[in-house]
């Protein structure tokens, strides 16, 4: 389990590894500067500072997707009524706090990860046994390869020696592509890998997920579950 700490250096909170999630409810306005500029006018919102350093700002609506966010690693400068979040990419998120209604931290502990349904778990097992059906020359390094934000379904080695992170879903939606994108972001910082590319695999990949994967240079594939089950054994069987 990771040791969670935050360290104060010359007035700057450095996100290192933290065990606690901080939840703030406040009237705030938010300005983002980076690949584009965006502004959220003053309103009551939920601000989450996760243990891994991610920062997310939510409204009361829109399901799970935040209005704005910054993926780890981040640096937070916390002033009296303003937070300035920056990352190594040069992006900057300025959160101006007008009224703070609640500010609480919780230690959630180590998460066991998402339990897959029966079909998805079996699909992962079948593909782990025969990763070459996804790409010629592909070999398995490990199932459930751990990262600090959760395990990658399959970590493989391509014929050219590069690493391939494979995320497997029964229904391939945008959420799965986003999940794989986050894994790739962390894996590509690992100096043990010369290169890492992603492969999104599902029984059915939605058009939106295909478009997003292509835009992010992530390969996607659809596989046939019955066909994979048919090669699970070398013995012919009637049932």
Return the ∠ at Cα 224 (arms to 220 and 230), rounded to 5°.
140
- List the chain pLDDT tens, one digit each, 239 residues: 233 333 333 344 444 445 578 999 999 999 999 888 899 999 999 999 988 788 999 998 766 678 998 888 888 899 989 999 998 888 999 999 999 999 999 887 766 655 555 578 889 999 999 999 999 999 999 999 998 888 999 999 999 999 999 999 999 999 999 999 999 999 998 888 999 999 999 999 999 999 999 999 999 999 998 888 875 444 444 44
**Residue 174 burial (CB count, 10 A):** 14
With 0-12 / 13-18 / 19 or more C-beta atoms within 10 angstroms meaning exposed / middle / buried, residue 62 is: exposed
Task: List where CATH 2.70.180.20 sits in the chain.
Answer: 5-107
H, E, C per residue of 62-78: CCCCCCEEECCCCEEEE
Pairwise CA distance, residues 20 & 1, whole Å: 13
Tokens found for residue 176: 């799965």
Architecture of domain 118-230: 3-Layer(aba) Sandwich (3.40)
Task: List where CATH 3.40.1350.10 sits in the chain.
Answer: 118-230
pTM for the model: 0.54
Q: Name the residue among 135, 127, 87, 161 with its Cα closest to residue 232.
A: 127
CATH number of 5-107: 2.70.180.20
């Amino acid at each position: 389990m990771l040791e969670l700490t935050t360290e104060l250096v010359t007035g700057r909170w450095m996100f290192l590894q933290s065990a606690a999630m901080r939840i703030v409810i406040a009237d705030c306005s938010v300005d983002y500067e980076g690949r584009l500029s965006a502004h959220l006018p003053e309103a009551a919102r939920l601000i989450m500072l996760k243990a891994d350093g991610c920062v997310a700002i939510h409204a009361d609506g829109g399901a799970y997707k935040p209005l704005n966010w910054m993926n780890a690693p981040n640096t937070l400068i916390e002033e009296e009524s303003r937070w300035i979040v920056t990352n190594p990419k040069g992006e900057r998120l300025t959160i101006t706090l007008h009224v703070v209604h609640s500010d609480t931290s919780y230690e959630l502990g180590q998460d066991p990860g998402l339990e897959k349904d029966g079909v998805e778990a079996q699909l992962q097992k079948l593909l782990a046994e025969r990763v070459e059906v996804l790409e010629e020359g592909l070999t398995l390094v490990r199932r459930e390869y751990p990262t600090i934000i959760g395990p990658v379904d399959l970590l493989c080695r391509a014929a050219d020696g590069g690493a391939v992170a494979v995320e497997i879903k029964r229904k391939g939606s945008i959420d799965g592509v986003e999940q794989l994108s986050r894994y790739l972001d962390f894996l590509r910082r690992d100096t043990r890998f010369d290169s890492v590319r992603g492969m999104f695999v599902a029984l059915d990949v939605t058009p939106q997920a295909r478009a997003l994967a292509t835009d992010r240079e992530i390969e996607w594939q659809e596989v046939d579950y019955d066909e994979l089950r048919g090669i699970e054994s070398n013995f012919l069987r009637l049932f």
